[in-house]
């Protein structure tokens, strides 16, 4: 894990870029069953942006949310000690007020967040010109179950 101190506040430009990418990622959503488009984007401490969108399949529980779609390839492509810090996550949907990450995604985000203060920005139907909700993973998932809880059993 990189130094958690690199969870520094985003500049205006970084937040704008993160939001725009999450909003555009919605265009790649494959959601013929729900017609509910979701886009997500993660900003890493390396400066890289990683997007994801929801991908559904006919066997409905098998689909994946946009947030996990964005995060899993990062984890799966970087060796553990070199894992960069997630500085922020943005999620975009077509509803207002904006949707928040589902419970399963909250656990997933929490697993790879180096701080409970990881900010999550939620954008709704009017994108950047509409309402934005900002909450931390700690606020979205109080009393989370994480890797440290497993260690407590050793
Ligand atoms: N969805 C997400 O992508 N992220 C969430 O946090 C909530 C739900 C997707 C899953 C499914 O493809 C569609 O939205 C409707 O539930």
The residue whose CA is least distant from atom 10 of ligand 1 is 65
Domains of the chain: 10-151 (3.40.140.10)
Query: Would you name the residues annotated as active-site residues?
Result: 67
pTM recorded for the entire structure: 0.95
Whole-angstrom distance, CA of residue 28 vs CA of residue 121? 19
Q: What is the pLDDT of residues 42-87, one digit of tens each?
A: 999 999 999 999 999 999 999 999 999 999 999 999 998 888 999 9
Q: Strands of 39-44's sheet, edge to edge? A: 49-53, 39-44, 86-92, 119-123, 132-136
Q: Can you list the residues of the chain whose pLDDT is less than 70? A: 1-6
69 is in an annotated binding site: no
Tell whether omega for the bond before 97 is within 30 degrees of 0, i.e. cis.
yes
Token pair recorded at residue 25: 């990622």
State residue 8's pLDDT score.
Answer: 86
pLDDT of residue 2: 45
pLDDT score of 105: 98
102 CA distance to ligand 1 middle (Å):
7
């Amino acid at each position: 894990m990189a130094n958690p101190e690199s969870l520094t506040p985003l500049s205006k430009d970084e937040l704008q870029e993160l939001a725009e990418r999450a909003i555009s990622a919605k265009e790649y959503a494959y959601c013929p069953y729900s017609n509910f488009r979701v886009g997500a984007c993660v900003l890493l401490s390396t400066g890289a942006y990683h997007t994801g969108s929801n991908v559904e399949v006919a066997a409905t529980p098998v689909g994946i949310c946009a947030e996990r779609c964005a995060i899993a390839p990062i984890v799966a492509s970087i060796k553990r000690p070199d894992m960069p810090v997630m500085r922020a996550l943005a999620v975009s949907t077509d509803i207002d007020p904006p949707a928040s990450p589902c419970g399963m995604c909250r656990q997933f985000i929490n697993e790879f967040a180096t701080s409970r203060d990881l900010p999550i920005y939620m954008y709704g139907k009017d994108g950047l010109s509409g309402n934005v909700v900002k909450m931390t993973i700690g606020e979205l998932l109080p009393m989370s179950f994480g890797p440290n809880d497993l260690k407590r059993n050793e």
